[in-house]
Amino acid sequence: MQNSIVITVGDMNGIGPELILKCLTATDQVDTRFILAGPASVFQYYATLFEIPFNLDVIHSPSTIPNLGNCIFDPFETEYHPNPGKISTEAGEIAMKSLDFGVSLVKDELAQALVTAPISKESIQMAGYNYAGHTEFLAEKTSCPEYTMMLISGGLRVGLVTTHIPVRQIAESITQEAIITKARIIHTTLKTQFSIKKPKIAILGLNPHAGDGGVIGVEEIEVIEPAMMSLNQMGVECDGPYPADGFFGSQQFENFDAVLAMYHDQGLGPFKALSFGRGVNFTAGLPIIRTSPDHGTAFAIAGKNRASMDSMLEAINLAKKLTYNLST
């Protein structure tokens, strides 16, 4: 049976549409067909600009989605004209409506996974969408109260306890409950979606040198270690807390199925240095499969044929792998 993957257009003035079209020519499509969610005129613009073959069927209603073959699902039925590199209300509106359409296709089982091209937080908020990004919107649309961001590159998987909050709020947001919740989501995801029978998770400390026995901070002793004890009692195997610098520098992550970092830059800084532009953003805990490249709209190079498709291609390939795991 052929699986279907929805790819949303993202910000039409960023590098997303260009990467989507390039990836379609580079990915193996034997067992997968792709539904592009967004205005056909946007894809046509970039196909013409970069001389990319463009012969996809355009449909305007979910009921007409064909059983086989790639297509564009364009409910807009309006001509849009991208302005590469520019932040705009129109681009934010199109990005979020396309995302909404894409989620609906997966929820209605017309597709098995969702790949999202980058959006601009500024553009979507100009358009009246008060979300920090894709993840919060997807959680709301799928009625998912508990989820976590995971960055994936091969066997390196990094989850986060806290994400898009100011640095000054991090310490107070690191609670036993938060650590336990995120670790359990990762544990379940590794078992059910990645087919890892007995996942092992590394937990990073919050302070330099993981607190140095309480000399540099007490969060490891008072919060992180008790949370780890509870997790192990629940059957969620974890170890730590590890100092982040030495942990990544000595490649200890290779001994674990996932790493749980306390905050955004603690996890994503080393991850991006190690993934060489091929990282994938995966939302663990959602009732649907969702992946995306681990970069943004890259407005500075949009429309200039300079964007690397590596991360987007990895996001598509991971979605394909997870849909296969789901169907076997």
- Report residue 313 as tokens: 């291609």
In the chain the domains, ranked by start, together with CATH numbers, are 1-144+286-328 (3.40.718.10), 147-285 (3.40.718.10)
Residues contacting 78, CB < 8 A, separation 6+: 39, 41
- Type of residue numbered 292: S
What is the model's pLDDT at position 81? 96
What is the model's pLDDT at position 1? Answer: 58
Q: How far apart are CA 197 and CA 200, in angstroms?
A: 10
pLDDT score at 133: 86
- DSSP letters spanning 96-156: HHHHHHHHHHHHTTS-SEEEE----HHHHHHTT---SSHHHHHHHHTT-S--EEEEEETTE
pLDDT for res 324: 85
Helix (H, G, I), strand (E, B) or coil at 178: helix
Divide the 328 residues of the chain into consecutive groups of 10 and give the mean pLDDT of each group: 90 98 83 94 97 91 81 92 98 98 95 97 96 91 95 96 95 98 98 96 98 96 98 98 94 97 97 93 96 97 96 96 83
Give the pLDDT of residue 30.
65
**For residue 65, what pLDDT is reported?**
81
